[in-house]
Amino acid sequence: MKKYHIIDNCKYLIISILIIVCDQILKRYIIDNFKLGQSQEIIPGLLSFTYLRNTGAAWNLLAGKMNLFYLISILALIVVIYYLFSLKYSHRIFKFGLAMVLGGIVGNFIDRLIFKYVIDMFDLDFINFNIFNLADCAITFGVIFIFYYFVFLVEKEN
């Protein structure tokens, strides 16, 4: 049973690694091919790439508070890894959500460690919304999966 649990969790770690790799490749592409502030339409009227540097959190909150973001990232990583390997929560929806959150946290943490800011590029042209990155998407959708699990599935599982 324990061996299966470890093997089962490896597939979720692979999901996290794929998110991290894709996030970092896209960010490298943006750095290499765009000037800061440059925008290029990808899907007309829907999506553009716009190269921004974010020294804060979502909506550039707490800009420049790098030590706080390091601390929050490390604490979040500990919590996510704990629950990912916990035997108490084994539902695939919950684990998938955790894997996405883990990949997103690490993707943005890498930026903060290397650059002291996070590279953002997704610009939604059809709505006035903040520019974000793949790691942000992974965190957001991961939290949605986790929320779905706790609201709709946790009682059924018990």
Counting Cβ atoms within 10 Å, is residue 130 exposed (0-12), middle (13-18) or buried (19+)?
A: middle
Catalytic residue from among 23, 111, 120, 123: 120
Query: Among 23, 111, 123, 136, which one carries the catalytic annotation?
Result: 136
Q: Closest Cα partner for 135 from 14, 25, 9?
A: 25
Start-to-end CA span in the chain (Å) = 19
* Tokens describing residue 98: 């955790």
Is 125 a known active-site residue? no
CB-based contact 121:136 (threshold 8 Å) = no
Residue 136 among the catalytic residues: yes
Instruction: Supply the residues annotated as catalytic.
Output: 120, 136
